């Protein structure tokens, strides 16, 4: 109420007037019986009746006005709470979204509804009326102190009974809520996993779970209903009993000549009203108690760690990212995913991340995207730790393809352009001495939509072409206006990934994080993804790819193997040596002078994926036609010397030796399609079908 003092005061005044006007009817009864019935003067009756009619009309007006005022007073608080909950759903640290928190997030609407139910105008008025019940007792006291005492006892009895009922109800209500939530979860699982239910005969399991929940919930529901009805009946009984007591005691007073019949009837009306108000207040208290519990749940939810809304931002981000002594383990996990991870990702360099399932590749990618915070150490972007950087600014610096892409219930066009349209308000102080950077979401969004409609279309087209999706999109009846349902699950996995790739491409992020970009893609999609990667490397972006794709592995400047625990292995492609060696994996960290670091003894086989020759030498396989172009493009990196410039692969020809040279599709000397010779002319260049191993690209 503090936020809306004027309506709150008006509500209090209205309640006061309603209470006063409620006094009119007992006064009317007393006056009619005591004056008109005794003296029989019609003028008295007319005056009293007119007065009473005026009072009734005013009472009607005030009772209409009060709920409106109550709604105005309480409406804001509700809106604020609801907005705060929605905001936290958007801003909660992704890392904190464990199963319990997800469950709590799903229950937010139910908790809000409980809080709302206690703030409904009717309930607010029941609470507000309570202190004014004293006025009824006070007036009764003036008429007959003894009858006022009876009324007061009735009020106390109603309060005690209602409190006992409320306590019992709230315990059962809480348990019932839990059971209902579990049932909703099972419903969602049965709907989301419809195929699983059918194919793996999970129906029996689901039915059993439902039956179990119903078996537990139904008695609770019945018990609650009994308690509620019991509470109502006992209140009604108390009201009746106090009325009986008032009449019995009052009648004796009338006989003794202490009060008149009119006073007796008026006192009964007043005490009944007082007890009624007490009963209403007691039942409102029950609801309020539930609302308080729900509010406590929401408060806990609101206190969950959030992504900061502000932080540092660089005026320009060049793309250098460094993991410094980073350690991380998920809470509840018995061992850390990695300890002391040191790796530097440079502009123009491709870092490939590998490791067995569950080794932490996706966690690593999410760390780079600022979704997961290291437990120890620092992630440093162009010299600034990610802990200080404004998350919203950081998201503008990255192109991110998650392992399991999800989409909003919006059109394809909106989804792809989402990173541009949905920028949030970010307040960031620029670390390099420039004034505070203040980005206003609304103006940005509106401005962008007005200013850059054509530009947005151009970005959209480029992104769609990059993912080679144009023909697919235009084959859809609604084209770009197709609405994606169920987080995009109605699309095939491959198309979903390509749409996600297109969405990643719309920002100008210097850091590119692609989690399994070629997984599940057909030859055309894979080619498009590889082409994008090549293009981004050419543009000097820092590219980090979680993948086992052999072609990507071959052009990678460094490989991070998270399968090596607890200290992951980082192997960099060494600069070309004087002895002609093209690839010499150097375990990280290498010392300043280029000599291998303390892990120099790590067997080279552990990093043989980076262009090192495969042991045993399976004959090279001819490149697939679909890969030729990609190989050619990847070869151009070497020719352009861009990776070489970053000091990772070296000059043209060296990349070729690593399997991505000028053209890996030349026919060999036998005239059959097969691995071409590299620019040095003697080693086969191993481009292979997807899934085939890399063959003999390098010499040691």
| Smallest distance from ligand ATP to CB 332, Å | 7
| Smallest distance from ligand ATP to CB 325, Å | 19
| Alpha-carbon separation of residue 694 from 286, 553, 623, 697, 698 (angstroms) | 71, 9, 11, 7, 10
In the complex with ligand ATP, the residue whose CB is nearer, 366 or 399, is 366
In the complex with ligand ATP, the residue whose CB is nearer, 224 or 544, is 544
In the complex with ligand ATP, the residue whose CB is nearer, 336 or 596, is 336
Spell out the residues 6+ positions from residue 607 whose beta carbon is closer than 8 angstroms to its own: 559, 561, 569, 571, 585, 587
Report yes or no: 107 and 297 within 8 Å, Cβ to Cβ. yes
Dig out the tokens for 394 from the structure.
Answer: 């950081």
In the complex with ligand ATP, the residue whose CB is nearer, 114 or 363, is 363
Nearest to 572 by CA among 545, 540, 607: 607
In the complex with ligand ATP, the residue whose CB is nearer, 275 or 337, is 337
| Smallest distance from ligand ATP to CB 326, Å | 14
| Smallest distance from ligand ATP to CB 355, Å | 6
Cα–Cα distance measured from residue 457 to residue 462, given in angstroms and rounded to the nearest whole number: 9
| Smallest distance from ligand ATP to CB 360, Å | 4
In the complex with ligand ATP, the residue whose CB is nearer, 151 or 360, is 360
Cα–Cα distance measured from residue 220 to residue 169, given in angstroms and rounded to the nearest whole number: 10
Q: What residue has token string 């959209």?
A: 460
Dig out the tokens for 25 from the structure.
Answer: 């009817």
Q: What residue has token string 């144009």?
A: 470
| Smallest distance from ligand ATP to CB 203, Å | 28
Spell out the residues 6+ positions from residue 47 whose beta carbon is closer than 8 angstroms to its own: none
Cα–Cα distance measured from residue 330 to residue 332, given in angstroms and rounded to the nearest whole number: 6
Report yes or no: 507 and 535 within 8 Å, Cβ to Cβ. no
| Smallest distance from ligand ATP to CB 368, Å | 12
In the complex with ligand ATP, the residue whose CB is nearer, 360 or 659, is 360
Strand partners, 310: 427
| Smallest distance from ligand ATP to CB 353, Å | 9
Cα–Cα distance measured from residue 212 to residue 215, given in angstroms and rounded to the nearest whole number: 5
Strand partners, 685: none
| Smallest distance from ligand ATP to CB 568, Å | 11
In the complex with ligand ATP, the residue whose CB is nearer, 403 or 424, is 403
In the complex with ligand ATP, the residue whose CB is nearer, 51 or 327, is 327
| Alpha-carbon separation of residue 556 from 353, 571, 637, 667, 687 (angstroms) | 10, 10, 11, 25, 14
Cα–Cα distance measured from residue 633 to residue 687, given in angstroms and rounded to the nearest whole number: 13
In 576-677, which ranges are continuous DSSP H helix?
A: 625-640, 642-645, 654-655
| Smallest distance from ligand ATP to CB 337, Å | 6
What is the β-pairing status of strands 426-430 and 398-401? Answer: unpaired
Cα–Cα distance measured from residue 129 to residue 279, given in angstroms and rounded to the nearest whole number: 11
| Smallest distance from ligand ATP to CB 569, Å | 15
| Smallest distance from ligand ATP to CB 5, Å | 46
Buried-exposed string 313-349: b where 16+ CB fall within 10 A, e elsewhere: bbeebbbbbbbbebbbbeeeeeebbbbebbbbbbbbb
DSSP state, residue 488: G
Q: What one-character-per-residue DSSP string does 434-447 give?
A: PPPEEE-HHHHHHH
Report yes or no: 122 and 280 within 8 Å, Cβ to Cβ. no
Residue 451 CB: number of other CB atoms within 10 A?
A: 10
Report yes or no: 644 and 651 within 8 Å, Cβ to Cβ. yes
| Smallest distance from ligand ATP to CB 409, Å | 23
In the complex with ligand ATP, the residue whose CB is nearer, 42 or 100, is 100
What is the β-pairing status of strands 376-381 and 384-385? Answer: antiparallel
In the complex with ligand ATP, the residue whose CB is nearer, 334 or 450, is 334
Residues that bind ligand ATP (CB under 6 A): 98, 330, 337, 355, 357-363, 403
In the complex with ligand ATP, the residue whose CB is nearer, 312 or 359, is 359
The number of residues making up the chain comes to 700
| Smallest distance from ligand ATP to CB 573, Å | 23
In the complex with ligand ATP, the residue whose CB is nearer, 401 or 437, is 401
In the complex with ligand ATP, the residue whose CB is nearer, 341 or 456, is 341
In the complex with ligand ATP, the residue whose CB is nearer, 272 or 547, is 547
Spell out the residues 6+ positions from residue 29 whose beta carbon is closer than 8 angstroms to its own: 262, 265, 266, 269
């Amino acid at each position: 109420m503090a936020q809306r003092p004027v309506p709150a005061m008006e509500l209090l005044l209205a309640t006061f007037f309603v209470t006063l006007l409620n006094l009119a009817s007992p006064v009317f009864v007393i006056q009619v019986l005591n004056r008109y019935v005794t003296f029989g003067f019609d003028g008295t009756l007319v005056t009293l009746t007119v007065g009473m009619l005026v009072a009734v009309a005013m009472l009607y007006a005030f009772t209409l006005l009060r709920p409106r005022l109550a709604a105005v007073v309480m409406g804001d608080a509700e809106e604020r709470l609801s907005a705060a909950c929605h905001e936290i759903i958007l801003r909660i640290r992704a890392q904190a979204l464990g199963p319990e928190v997800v469950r709590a997030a799903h229950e937010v609407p139910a908790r809000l509804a409980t809080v709302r139910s206690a703030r409904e105008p009717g309930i607010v008025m029941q609470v507000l009326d309570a202190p004014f019940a004293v006025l009824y007792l006070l007036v009764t006291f003036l008429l007959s102190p003894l009858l006022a005492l009876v009324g007061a006892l009735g009020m106390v009895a109603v309060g005690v009974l209602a409190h006992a009922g409320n306590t019992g109800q709230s315990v059962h209500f809480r348990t019932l809520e839990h059971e209902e939530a579990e049932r909703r979860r099972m419903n969602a699982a049965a709907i989301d996993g419809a195929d699983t239910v059918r194919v793996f005969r999970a129906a029996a399991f689901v039915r059993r779970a439902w039956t179990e929940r119903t078996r537990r919930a139904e008695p609770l529901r019945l018990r609650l209903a009994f308690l509620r009805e019991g509470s109502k009946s006992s209140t009604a009984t108390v009201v009746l009993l106090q009325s009986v007591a008032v009449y019995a005691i009052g009648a004796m007073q009338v006989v003794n000549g202490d009060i008149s019949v009119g006073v007796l009837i008026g006192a009964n009306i007043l005490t009944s009203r007082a007890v009624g108000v007490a009963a209403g207040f007691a039942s409102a208290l029950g609801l309020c108690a539930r609302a308080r519990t729900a509010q406590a749940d929401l408060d806990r939810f609101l206190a969950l760690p959030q992504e900061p809304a502000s932080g540092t931002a660089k005026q320009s981000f060049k793309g250098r990212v460094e993991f410094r002594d980073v350690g991380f383990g998920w809470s509840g996990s018995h061992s850390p995913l990695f300890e002391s991870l040191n790796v530097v990702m440079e502009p123009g360099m491709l870092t490939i991340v590998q490791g067995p399932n569950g080794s932490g590749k996706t966690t690593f990618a999410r760390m780079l995207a600022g979704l997961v915070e290291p437990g120890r150490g620092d992630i440093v972007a162009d010299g600034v730790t990610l802990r200080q950087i404004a998350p919203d600014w950081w998201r503008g610096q990255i192109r991110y393809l998650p392992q399991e892409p999800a989409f909003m219930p919006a059109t394809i066009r909106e989804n792809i352009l989402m990173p541009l349209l949905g920028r949030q308000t970010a307040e960031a102080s620029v670390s390099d001495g420039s004034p505070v950077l203040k980005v206003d979401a609304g103006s940005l969004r509106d401005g962008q939509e007005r200013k850059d409609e054509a530009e947005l279309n151009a970005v959209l087209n480029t992104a769609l072409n990059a993912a080679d999706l144009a023909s697919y999109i235009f084959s859809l009846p609604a084209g770009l206006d197709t609405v994606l349902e169920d987080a995009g699950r109605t699309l095939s996995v491959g198309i979903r990934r390509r749409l996600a790739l297109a969405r990643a491409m719309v920002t100008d992020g210097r850091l590119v994080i692609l989690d399994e970009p070629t997984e599940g893609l057909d030859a055309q999609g894979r080619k498009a993804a590889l082409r994008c990667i090549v293009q981004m490397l050419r543009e000097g972006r820092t590219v980090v790819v979680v993948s086992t794709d052999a072609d990507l592995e071959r052009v990678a400047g460094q490989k991070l193997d998270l399968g090596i625990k607890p200290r992951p292995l980082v192997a960099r492609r060494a600069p070309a040596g004087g002895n002609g060696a093209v690839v010499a994996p150097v375990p990280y960290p290498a010392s300043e002078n280029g000599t291998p670091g303390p892990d120099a003894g790590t067997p080279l086989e552990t990093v043989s994926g980076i262009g090192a020759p495969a042991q045993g030498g399976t004959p090279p396989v001819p490149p697939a036609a679909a890969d030729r172009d990609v190989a050619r493009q990847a070869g151009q990196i070497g020719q352009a010397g861009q990776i070489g410039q970053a000091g990772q692969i070296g000059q043209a020809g060296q990349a070729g030796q690593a399997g991505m040279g000028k053209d890996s599709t030349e026919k060999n000397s036998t005239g059959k399609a097969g691995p071409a010779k590299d620019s040095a002319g003697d080693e086969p260049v191993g481009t292979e079908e997807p899934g085939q191993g890399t063959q003999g690209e390098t010499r040691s």
